[in-house]
Every structure is written in structure tokens, then in C-alpha cells.
Structure 1
């Protein structure tokens, strides 16, 4: 840690500009790519073991300084450093219900790099809240019974945000986020190769390895959806005594219509819990269909990681 801390101290202070985060009585200046931030050693050291170790080091005689404050160069993106310092020094920043995904990404990247554990945990919590690991938590996110499209409440929504979540999670080993995020990408983004305009002139697009994973999973899900035990298995084969049906012709017609609907319209909405139209079924068949759908939905969720070549839920850890 000490060697790492020494490695980021600069030897020269080049042409710089002051950021808006500049406290006149601050005790240290952080510099990122020509932009300087004057803040407080004490708070940095309190929140980060990295800066705590650095503060304890003796300062070299040729240490660059600004107004008597040592200058520390960070080889990080300026926007990332600004988001990190806002989280540390602006009380209302983390209190916002939803944060921009770039801010969350900054807290993840710099939280890991500089050991800001609390900030890292708060950022990961937002990602995992929107992409849960249990079906009960998934259902708690549903608004008015409609799971698609998911509207985030802890992350500022924009077109393509889920693609960027996948990239952020994979690059930082936040593996628990991936099954849910991958599934949503498979359901919502077609084709996956084109990317999605974010609305600011840039494109959200998955890395080739993520595109490949989603395409393989899409094929697996398409094959599994009508298999026994999964959400639509009952459409392929009745698994109860059909002699109990009160209206075989009407229920057979309803079953055929539902089969064609899932094939033609929503082939991968396997986690949908919207109730079926009870009017087109007899009470016995409606009960069977409802129970089979809910049971299959739970099975899909339990198996979801394996469709994306990930470990089971209970082994899916975040390597932070």
C-alpha cells in the first residue's frame, strides 16, 4: 500500500485549472489530468485506507504544493474524481433518490481503487437493488403489475442504461447483477449488435463478449421456454387430468391462442406474472394454468444464471 501511495505523487505541477470543488482552507490538492481539487486530508484519510496510509508517509523535500498544500496526482478520469469528491464533501449528493449511472460507475471504480469502502458499497447497493438476486425482490420492483420495461428508481434512467450497467458490472466483477441485467437486455434489445442511442450523441453498446453471451442465452431460453417445468410448459403438454375440464373446446381454443401469442408476440417474457384472462378458461384449467405459470417462473429464476454461463445464485459473488 505504501509503495502504491508513493507511485501517484507527481514531480511537477503542470498547467492546471481549478475545479468547483475548492475549499480555501483545504489541506491537500488532488490533480487529475490538469484539473485540481482542494479538499481535506482528514476526510480522505477517514474514508480511505489508501489515503490514510499516504498521509502517514514523510513528505519529500521537493513535494509540489499549492498554497502550502501538497499536490497529489491521480491518473483517473476528471469526471470520476469529481463524482467521488462530491460524494465525500457534498452532503446532498448521495441523498438523491436516483444517481446518474456515470456517478455510480465512478464510485465503483475509485471506491475499489482507493479503498473507499462505504462509497463502493453504496454504489453497488444501487446496482443490486435494480438487478436483484431473488424473485421476491424482483417482484417488489414491478409497477402496476407490469415488469417490462423496468423503470429504475435508484439510477437515472436513459435509453440503453441497462447495457451500460452490464458493462460496469462485468468490468468490476459485480457478478450478482449480471443474470437479471443480461436477461433484461435479451428481452428488450433486439438486435443486440446495433447499440442504443443514449440521447447525448453517444451509443450504449455491449462488448463483444457480452453480445455473445446474450445471443447464446437467447437461443437457450427460446428452447427452454416450452419445456416441462418452465413458464410455458403447460402450453406444450397438460400435466393434469383433462377430464376435469368443464369446457374442453373453449379451454383448448384459449390454450392455442395463448401459444400463438407467446410465439409471435412475447417469446421471452418468461418472468411475467401478469394474470391470464380468467373469462376464457374454466375454473379448473385456469387454476392449473396459473399454478403452472408461477411454478415455471420460479424455476426459470432459479436457473437463470446458468443460461448465461454463470454460477448458481448461491455461488454468485461480487469480487470487490
Structure 2
């Protein structure tokens, strides 16, 4: 329909007919003077169009217009008004197609992604079926179910893209301005509008982002912000790890001998190493396991080896494509898709990751004279019983492990456990208790067996861990005896809360032993398994820290340490703690972890992001260092031995890191270099490795985006005092 009868002036004017006085709307760019209905967007922009055309295309509008309207219906310039909960930009894009530019629906005419998104959203909402189907067809063009179609639609060298790269998609397509940042849009729309078959290729493209960008929101040209849900952010990161693993598997294949029919074995082996080095330098290992193998044509392999490697690479790509849904934990998607996107739509598109959720216990009822220490949530709590008045301590409390019959104060934990101790000792060690006890208490203050009661907002387990340290003996402090990790946690938390300074300082000293500021101390005291290279990541089956000062400290307890360092102003602990956190698998970093006292610990979203982003950097650092060891040292005394050692080292490293797509433990000692090279090369490589390790340690706060004052720079080998 021609638009020459429309007034496109977008001036603001007051509504002149019936309605609330003073209300002002803005004319949209689609305004037919003879239109008989005005659609007003959520931001007050109106579009004057025709009921008949809306009814022709939309079942929702058709039904709406058949409902009789009241006589005092709102009008604007004598025309009935309908308020819609849609943005003016989305409405303008869709109405322009319906009323002024139907030729836009010719598929070869490209449309902006914002228009396609509006077509899909409003086409679904108002049952304008041809708009919805048109939008789906255009999206499927870029996010197809077939690998061949996918390869033909996307750039061939997309690796680690960033937001500054304007167009990574084929210029010959159905959407004019779709860029990498619009992948977020597609994932959110596919979730909301039941199009699960779009998800695997969309998640694959999302995984090409630099990990830092995965956690950020993306804005389109209409100013709409698109952000992945927490679960979908996890899916992208988990998928990145899986894709790195697949890329690493192919690199292992590259280290194999040339093909059986190779015409130039020495030359092809040199080229294989060159390809390997180039791919590592270009960050090939990030996530780009499906890209075209153009690099094979750029290097002079013999024809037999070219065919050999190309054939294997194509097989691996097909396998990767078939497993995309599994990589990104998309259990609701039938993949590979065999039917149209509409036909494979699922009514259950919110399959969560199998990761534990955080459970938060909230305690709000206060009962104490001292508000900071006065919460009780024990549901079994009965009325206070004073033994002098009632003759029996018939209350729903229980005695704790620390109970002195002649004690003159009873501390009751939040779960109803009492500890009978001495005011004097508490006052000696704690400024908070000292001040509390000098405040006069009311005559009817709660008692138990004639002894005053104070309710504390602390758990029975925490109190039972620190009270013996105060009342039984203090000669075990000062690192004279190892404590359980949960005891050290209680010492830090309650020592800080109640200003029991020697407990806090003892806890800090113990934690600093494992999370120091010097690399030498870190290597000597922290990583028990640093020299025990295995093919498995450390899990929760056994503690992985030395037990000199803290016992039963598990690899996942580092998440508690990070939270404690944040809460108790201990920034010097953070770089080493984050480094240890980064040794965990991706799913573990996102998860909730429970210590032996059943306290749950989880990183905040910002700290999760720090770990995930740093893992990428650490993997790249480790892989590049090992794979770029090209030749023996200038003073090599046995070149044949050392060349073989370098080849074996590369292969062994790749075999080790396949399950994880890279090794994050870049600070491990140099024992793994032993017995592979001549004495001169061994000294050369160890020295170079230690220099690199020192640089990484000096930059450790930067890897995790941390600000730590006076973080030490690189140390000399003598200062390190480590292998």
C-alpha cells in the first residue's frame, strides 16, 4: 500500500479528544490521515493505521476489534486508541512492512537484524504468521542445521572475535547488519519464542567471543540490551572448554607422523611443526574447531599428506557439529536437526545445567538486648524458664561441648546450642563482649539454670570450634598445631566479628602460608600435587594442600578463601587463591560447594568471571610456552636426543591437556623437564621456564583483574628457592 497519504511529521501534540487532560503523545512515522485506529507504543508514540489490514494479517487484532468497546473509549483526533506494550521502534519496523513496504518480504532483500527481531517477536505475539515465518527463515539462513550451510554463511577465519569487528557474517544473505554481537539476540529470542533448533549454531558462534565478552550485555541499534541468562552464560563457557578440547585433539593428530604415502617425510614433518606453531600463535585453540581448513592449502605439504590431513579434519568437523548440543548442555534440542526449525520447536526450552543452586537461609527474628548478637531462629524455642522461678530448665536448648558448671554466662548459638563459660575470659580476649557485659541488663533478662543467656547469630559448629581455643588452652596457637580448615574459618570470622585479635591473626597467618605473595613460598607450601602430573584434574576425593598448618583443606575450599578474603579485607590472599580456583573445572567454578560444617560457598558473578577469563589466559600461556620450544639450545651436546625430547614433550603435553583444552597450572615446578635433554639444554629450558613463571607470578593480579598494593615483582632463582 502506498504511503503518500501518511503524515510523517513526528511532532509532539496534546491529545484533543476525551481522555486524561494534559496527556501528550508523539506521532510516529506511519500516520494515515484517514486511518481508523491508533496504536500507541509503550513510550507514547502513536501510529494511525487501518483496522481492516491489521485484522487481515493478525488473529489477535481481528479478535480484539470484534469486542464491543465502551462509548467513552479513549480517542485521539476522533480516532479510537489501542495501547500496546511494545516499543515504538519495534512497532514502526513491523507496521512499515505491513502498510508501506511489503516488498521487504522478498527474501533476497536484506533486512536489519532489529527488523527481523521485531518481525519474530510481534509476529509471534499478534499471530502475524507470515512475519514470524519470514523472520525464522532469515535466522535459519545464518544459524542453519546443516554444517555445509553453516560453513558457507560464515567467515572462514573467525577466531576470538571482539565487539569491534563489525561484520563476521556472509555479505550475501537475508539480514543486512547481523554481526557477532547479535548472537546474544538470537539466543534470547530462540529461548523466548520456542525455536530451540537455532541454539546449537548460535551457541557455537557465541563461544567464538573472547570469554570476557560472554559475561557482558550487547546493545542493538534500537538501544535494546540483550544479555544471556546465568545458565546460558555457563553453557557458553562450558562449550568453549569442549571446543578447545576438540581443537587440541586435532593438534595431537598434527604431531603424528606424515601419511603412509608421503613423498617427502622430512619436509612434511617440518611443515607440520610450522602449522602447529602458527595455529598456537593465532590462538587457534580457543574455540574455532569448525572453521575451514584453508591453512592446509597455504603450506607446502605433499599431496598425500594434504589429502590425509584434510580428510581427518573434515571428519573431526562433522563429529564436532553432530555433538554441538551436547557441548552446550542443550538437552531440549533434537540435534542434528532433521526438520524445519518450526517443526523441531520444543515446549520445554529451559533445561538447566546440572549444577547445584545456592540455598540461602534467612534469619530475621531478633531477640537480644544487643542487636548485633541477638538473633534466634530455633523453631523449637519455648518460653523462657528461669530455674529459680520454675525449678527446672525445661527449655528447647541443648548443652554444647564447652560447659563449665560454675560458668557465669551462657552463649546460645542460632541453632539453640548453649555454651556455659566465663564472662571474665570473654572480656579478656574480646572487646565486643567486654563492652556488652558493661551494659546493664533488665531484671527479667533470660536465664538458664540461674545463669544469664546471650543469643548469638553464629552456628553451633563455629562456636564449638573457637571456644575450646579460648577456654581450654592457648598454647596450640601460633602455628604450633595444625587445625581443620573449618576451624580456621571460624577463627577468622568470629575473631573479626568479636575483635578477638589473636584468633584472627592466627587464622590469617595460616591462610597466608598457603596463599602467599612470593612464588617460592607458594610452590613450597601450596600445591601438593604440583609435581604429580596426571591425566586427571584434582577433584574432591582427597585434600591437595600440605597439612602443616591446616588439615582437610580441599581444592574447592579455595572458593571459601576468596569469599573470606573479600569479607575480611585480606586482599593479599586473593591472587594466589584465584590462581588455585582457576585450577578447577569450569562447572566447579560456577557451582556451590559445601564444607565439612555444611556451610555453602559460591563465588559472586564478578569473581566467577575473573576465574573463567583468567583460565583462558593461563591455558594460552602454558600451551604457547611448551609448543614454541622449537630447537635445542646453542650449547646442545646431543641434538638427536634433545630434538626427540622436544617432540616427545609437545606430544605428551597435548595428550595431557586434551581433556581440558589447555593446562591452567602454569606455575608448576620444572621437574617435568627432567631426563629429556642433555645437561646444557636442560639448564637452558629450566632457566627459560623459571623466567616465564616469574613473569606470570608478577602479573598474577592482572590476570584476575585484582588490585593488590605492593605485589612483589619477579624474584631471582635464589630468592625463589624452588625447583
Q: Would the TM-score normalized by the shorter structure come out above 0.5? A: yes
2:313 maps to 1:301: no
Which residue, 244, 249, 255 being the options, matches 1:222? 244
2:345 maps to 1:318: yes
Residues in 2 aligned to 1:65 and 1:200: alpha-carbon distance in whole angstroms: 29
Which residue, 265, 268, 275 being the options, matches 1:251? 268
Contact 1:278/1:286 (8 A) holds in 2: no
Secondary structure of 1:187's counterpart equals coil
Residues 236/304 of structure 1: CA separation in 2 closer, same or farther (3 Å cut): farther
Residues in 2 aligned to 1:215 and 1:112: alpha-carbon distance in whole angstroms: 30
Secondary structure of 1:313's counterpart equals coil
Shift of 1:42: 0.8
Contact 2:39/2:84 (8 A) holds in 1: yes
Which residue, 280, 301, 311 being the options, matches 1:263? 280
2:66 maps to 1:56: yes
Shift of 1:25: 1.4
Tell me, which stretches of 5 or more residues in structure 2 are unaligned? Answer: 1-17, 160-167, 348-723
Q: TM-score normalised to the size of structure 1?
A: 0.82
Match of 2:145 in 1: 133
Match of 1:170 in 2: 191
Contact 2:246/2:320 (8 A) holds in 1: no
Match of 2:57 in 1: 47
Secondary structure of 1:29's counterpart equals strand
Residues in 2 aligned to 1:194 and 1:62: alpha-carbon distance in whole angstroms: 47
Q: Which stretch shifts more, 160-169 or 175-184? A: 160-169
Shift of 1:55: 1.9
Residues 81/319 of structure 1: CA separation in 2 closer, same or farther (3 Å cut): farther
Contact 2:158/2:208 (8 A) holds in 1: no
Residues in 2 aligned to 1:84 and 1:200: alpha-carbon distance in whole angstroms: 14
Match of 1:19 in 2: 28
Tell me, which stretches of 5 or more residues in structure 1 are unaligned? Answer: 1-10
Residues 178/232 of structure 1: CA separation in 2 closer, same or farther (3 Å cut): farther
CA deviation map 1:273-295 (0-9, x unaligned): 23313763222222111111112
Residues in 1 aligned to 2:63 and 2:19: alpha-carbon distance in whole angstroms: 22
2:208 maps to 1:181: no
Which residue, 76, 88, 97 being the options, matches 2:86? 76
Matches within 5 A, 1:83-162: 83-91=93-101, 92-95=103-106, 97-142=109-154, 149-151=168-170, 153-155=173-175, 156-157=177-178, 160-162=181-183
Secondary structure of 2:67's counterpart equals coil
Which one has the bigger helix percentage?
A: 1
Residues 197/32 of structure 1: CA separation in 2 closer, same or farther (3 Å cut): closer
Which residue, 31, 45, 48 being the options, matches 2:40? 31
Aligned length: 304
Shift of 1:93: 4.3
Contact 1:110/1:116 (8 A) holds in 2: yes
Contact 2:194/2:346 (8 A) holds in 1: yes
Residues in 1 aligned to 2:226 and 2:210: alpha-carbon distance in whole angstroms: 11
Contact 2:31/2:47 (8 A) holds in 1: yes
Contact 1:151/1:157 (8 A) holds in 2: no
2:261 maps to 1:234: no
Residues in 2 aligned to 1:304 and 1:261: alpha-carbon distance in whole angstroms: 26
Shift of 1:45: 0.7
Aligned-residue CA RMSD (Å): 3.1
Shift of 1:135: 1.3
CA deviation map 1:148-183 (0-9, x unaligned): 733453331456233333333333332222222221
Residues 37/142 of structure 1: CA separation in 2 closer, same or farther (3 Å cut): closer
Residues in 2 aligned to 1:197 and 1:291: alpha-carbon distance in whole angstroms: 41
Secondary structure of 1:37's counterpart equals strand
Which residue, 210, 222, 229 being the options, matches 2:232? 210
Shift of 1:60: 2.4
Structure number with larger C-alpha Rg:
2
Which residue, 297, 319, 326 being the options, matches 1:277? 297
CA deviation map 1:209-254 (0-9, x unaligned): 3322111111111122344xxx55632556x9x5433222222222
